[in-house]
Amino acid sequence: MSVKFAVLGHGVVGSGVVELFYKNKKSIEKRAGVEMDIKYILDLRDFPDSPYADKFTKNFDDILNDDEVISVAECMGGVEPAFTFVKACLEKGKSVSTSNKELVAEKGDILLKTAKEHNCNFFFEASVGGAIPIIRPLHRCLAANDITKVAGILNGTTNFILTKMYNDNMPFDEALKLAQELGYAEKDPTADIEGHDACRKICIISSLVFGKHVYPKSVYTKGIKDIQLCDVEASDVLGYAIKLVASVTKLENGKILPCVMPTLVSYDNIMSGVNDVFNAVLVYGDGIDQTMFYGRGAGKLPTASAVLGDVIEAVKHKVTVLSQSWESSSDDSFVSKISEFKSRWYFRVPSGSAINGVEVYNSDYGMSFITSEELTFTQAEAKAKEFGALACLPVLE
């Protein structure tokens, strides 16, 4: 018996899936316990010079109506037509593995429900951490824990920019330009630097860990474009690194609080040393205390590795994996507002300001300090206004 699967999209990730599959075909088949092959590759473009030119199709129905195809790797990106294609495959009983975080963040609840109804699987390990295995550990390896918080560096582009600002004293605009030249940032980098990419990923983690679909619109999101070299200098002197941290915390009232913000991470915290395009996820639980997952969060082959890992899982599972699921949510009443977010805070204030900070660093740019107080987001905004602060960042504890 030979299992056939299809790949939707032949861009960076899709081509990586095809490349990695044929490179490691024998070991993949050994792990799957069955012979495997790619029967179709869906793309509107022509690839006449590809060694797999005979596998390309521009007609999705070729895949949908072929009963030999039992699994599909979706690597198209975006919500549509990916959602329509994926839902149709699941309704036919074909399991789907995806790297598409936008699709999972917006439509994951619907697709998981559809998979369950048709006794197949919707897998999305590659949608959050690229090569980092985080989805499966959260619902399997750590299933015995009461998980109280997850915090991570979930975007390699912003982490690369911040690393350049620290290591090379490079201004934000120059670091962004370099990231684009190296292919780490898109021509339009908005999704990365404004935090939207990290937001989608923390939505997926939040939904999986806490059991209800969390939509991006419910998550406070702030990117890194306002971070300046003076912030980098001051935080370094005070023993912190600035990272774009996406987190979700379970509050005492039972609600959850997901958010994305530039955050000060102490040099005592292992996550402060995660640099360049690498990602890391910290999970806090009552049994494990803390555990961290680390690796490449994006890229052609790292992401393809996670997609193919899910394809292998899909081939091996003849029934729906119920632990990888969450409920739809008609409202976001279970999501707390950002006003309840509590932390210690860093303020950047104009030079010469007469403020009694607990830790003060006077730089050439202005005076910076970290308060010892734990303030809610609302209180921090009030303090910032009172101080005439130019920046206000939380501290990861």
Catalytic residues: 201
Alpha-carbon Rg for the chain in angstroms: 22
Strand partners, 335: 256
Strand partners, 123: 97
Distance from C-alpha of 256 to C-alpha of 262, rounded to nearest angstrom: 19
Tokens of 266: 């102490």
Contacts of 84 (CB under 8 A, 6+ apart): none
| Tokens 């197949």 belong to residue | 120
CB 262 within 8 A of CB 242: yes
User: Phi and psi for 61 in degrees, rounded to 5?
Assistant: -60, -25
Distance from C-alpha of 267 to C-alpha of 239, rounded to nearest angstrom: 6
CB 189 within 8 A of CB 180: yes
Tokens of 370: 């970290």
DSSP symbol at 171: -
User: Phi and psi for 261 in degrees, rounded to 5?
Assistant: -155, 150
DSSP symbol at 140: I
Neighbouring CB atoms inside 10 A of 64's CB total 16
Closest to 158 in 3D by CA, of 184, 126, 129: 184
Distance from C-alpha of 38 to C-alpha of 9, rounded to nearest angstrom: 13
